[in-house]
Amino acid sequence: MNTKDIISSGLLELFVLGMTNAQETAQVSEMAALYPEVLAEIRAIEMSLQSYAMLHAVQPATHIKKTIFSRLSATNEQKTNPVVPVVSISPFWKYAAAASVILLVGSIVMNVNYYRSLEISKSEKQQIEQQLLAQERVNDEMKNNLSIIQSKYSEPVSLHGLQAAPDAAAKIFWMKNTGEVYIDPSNLPEAPEGMQYQLWGIVDGKPVDGGLILKTKKDNKYRILKMKSFGKAEAFAVTLETAGGNPTPKGDMYVMGKM
């Protein structure tokens, strides 16, 4: 069926009215997904019928809304607790005794269930609290990092990859007001076992130690770090040194950039 045929057939009207069978419903849904003009026609039919229904609205009594909302919260609470069947108690004692046993069993079942769902909620609560705490730490760290980057005194210096690692990169943030030096080493390749990156400031043409670039203890990754301060530096470089660092650079230079 092409789109014109389906539009003029009346099938779309029946579809909106919920009068189509499963096969027709599938057919119409498929056509609607494929052809915007079919979808537009369906929407127009829906809108007109909706307005028509609005014209026939009969406002319900005001207490009904309240009842619905009270049942809303009631049904939410009930979800975890099974409904215990109501036991009718016969006037005879033996039946009463039997009934009380049943009630007792029912109450034990309910208690066990309550207890179980309480335990589940407790552990869920703990989990969520931990997640929240972790998230807060991440947030704090991000706020710190952002304040470094956004500071009006921070002067960024891009360090570009050299022969040893052409894709590597790092960024220095030099604080003009305090002389503090931060490095974002997150784009350095993983240092091999027994080796560590070391920052150097080039001051008067000579390399001056800027400190080791360590991974965070928390997630073992390179994050923004505060390094040693230089009075002034013409350039910055990062080399790969034996663990613990060296007083003068001995290893390969990975990234470098000028002020």
Partner 1 sequence: MGEEIKYSEEELISRLKEREQQAFSYLYDHYAGALNGIICRMVEDPQLAEDILQEAFLKVWNNFAQYDSSKGRLFTWMINITRNLTIDTLRSKGYKKQRQISKDENSVSNYHDKNFGADQFDTIGLHKQVANLKPEQRSIIDLAYFNGYTQEEISKEMGIPLGTVKTRMRAAIVELRKMLEFS
Among 5, 22, 23, 72, binds partner 1 (CB under 8 A): 72
Closer of 16 and 227 to partner 1 (Cβ): 16
Q: Which two tokens stand for residue 35?
A: 């052809």
List b or e across 79-113, with b for residues whose CB sees 16 or more CB atoms inside 10 angstroms: eeeeeeeeeeeeeeeeeeeeeeeeeeeeeeeeeee
Answer left, alpha or beta for residue 10, where phi above 0 means left and psi between -120 and 50 means alpha: left
Write down the residue that tokens 């390749």 correspond to: 189
Q: 48 vs 158, which CB is nearer to partner 1? A: 48
Q: Which of 71, 122, 232, 250 binds partner 1 (CB under 8 A)?
A: 71
Residue 19 binding partner 1, by CB under 8 A:
yes
Whether 211 contacts 228, CB under 8 Å: yes
Q: Is 33 in the site for partner 1 (CB under 8 A)?
A: yes
Binding residues for partner 1, rule CB under 8 A, total 40
Minimum distance of partner 1 from residue 47's CB (angstroms): 5
Residues in Cβ contact with 195 at an 8 Å cutoff, skipping those fewer than 6 apart? 240, 241, 242, 243, 251
Is 160 among the residues that bind partner 1 (CB under 8 A)?
Answer: no
Least distance (Å) from partner 1 to the CB of residue 121? 18
Tell me if 252 sits within 8 A of 164, measured CB to CB. Answer: yes
Report in angstroms how near the CB of residue 219 gets to partner 1 at its nearest.
Answer: 31
Smallest separation, CB 78 to partner 1 (Å): 11
Positions touching partner 1 (CB under 8 A) are 8-11, 13-14, 16-19, 29, 33, 42-61, 64-65, 67-69, 71-72, 75
